[in-house]
Structure 1
Amino acid sequence: MALIIDKSVEVDAPAELVWQVLTDVDRYGEWNPFCIACKTTLEPGTPIDMTVRLIGPSPKKQREFMHSHTPGREFSYRMKPVPLGTLHSERSHTVTPLGADRCRYDSHFALEGWLSPVVNGLLGGALRRGFFDMTDAVKQRAEALRTTVGD
């Protein structure tokens, strides 16, 4: 059984501003409670190196690889698949305009493979909490920046 984590939020800020928040990875440590550090070029095939707060006091370093990038719209990345169908994942971020000053941010994570039920049992709660907290923080950050800019 796959582990699927989806959360969407409507944001009172232009899609361009939400996109800026998501892609300004050097500032993740300022606002992101889950992914506290990130380095990537966003180019498909290149690494995305992250430091995440999962469980316990020590953050965990994680390397995945960019899968897709449509500027202003979406990007996704995947873990290096574990052989024999053991595990494979995809994480995506999508921004959809809902007008000039509103948009929807969709966060998606899927972990599949025969070992995914074990990972779900061990880390599912922490992953849900982390992805949900990040989704809410994207909304808060973009809306705060919109107010600062004086929209």
Structure 2
Amino acid sequence: MQFVENAQTVMKELHSEIEIQASAERVWKLLTDFTSFPKWNPFIRRVTGQVKEGERLKVYIQPSGAEAMTFRPTILKAEPNRELRWLGHFLMPGLFDGEHIFIIEPLGENCVRFVQREIFQGSLVPLFADKLDSETTRGFAEMNQALKAQAEQEKP
């Protein structure tokens, strides 16, 4: 985790990664099958919208033991089997912006590194820093573990 503050920019970055014994295609399919999130995802509980650059999503998150939050990010990048990236704002741009990044790095035929990052910027970031370090970081880890378990299950 990184926290940078100066007169122009307040930024904090969270980072979590996990190795998954599955193909990039399988991990991507799970990551972008938003309708299945309520069944397996303990952090991002629901998402509505299309996986398409420029699309505005409705995302409902709730890390374990924390309050739920709904926001409406816009997809910045949707590169199949490689990267999904969206940008959301709290109230208005510049106060508390979060760019959520999911990266799938192939390590072998049926092995990937799944990286989940979020870059927070804006004047309200210091107010939420403790919750980001505890609740959001915990949510990343829980989601990564759940994605790994789901991806490594045998296909029905």
TM-score bin, normalised by smaller chain = 0.7 to 0.9
For residues 41-70 of structure 1, what are the alpha-carbon distances to aligned partners after superposition, in whole Å with 9 as ceiling and x for unaligned? 121221111111147676332211111111
Aligned to 2:55: 46
> Which structure features the higher share of helix residues?
1
Q: 2 CA distance for matches of 1:129 and 1:57?
A: 10
Relative to the length of structure 1, the TM-score reads: 0.86
Q: Verify the 8 A CA contact 2:71 2:89 in the aligned structure 1.
A: no
Relative to the length of structure 2, the TM-score reads: 0.84
Where structure 1 has 5 or more consecutive residues not aligned to the other structure, the ranges are none
Amino acid at match of 1:42: V
Aligned to 2:141: 132
The answer on 1:148 being equivalent to 2:128 is no
Q: Verify the 8 A CA contact 1:15 1:101 in the aligned structure 2.
A: yes
SS of 1:79's equivalent in the other structure is strand
**Percentage of pairs with the same residue:** 26
Amino acid at match of 1:59: A
Aligned to 2:116: 107
Q: CA RMSD in A?
A: 1.9
SS of 2:22's equivalent in the other structure is coil
2:129 paired residue among 109, 120, 125: 120
Q: 2 CA distance for matches of 1:135 and 1:114?
A: 29
SS of 1:47's equivalent in the other structure is coil
Q: Verify the 8 A CA contact 2:42 2:63 in the aligned structure 1.
A: no
SS of 1:126's equivalent in the other structure is helix
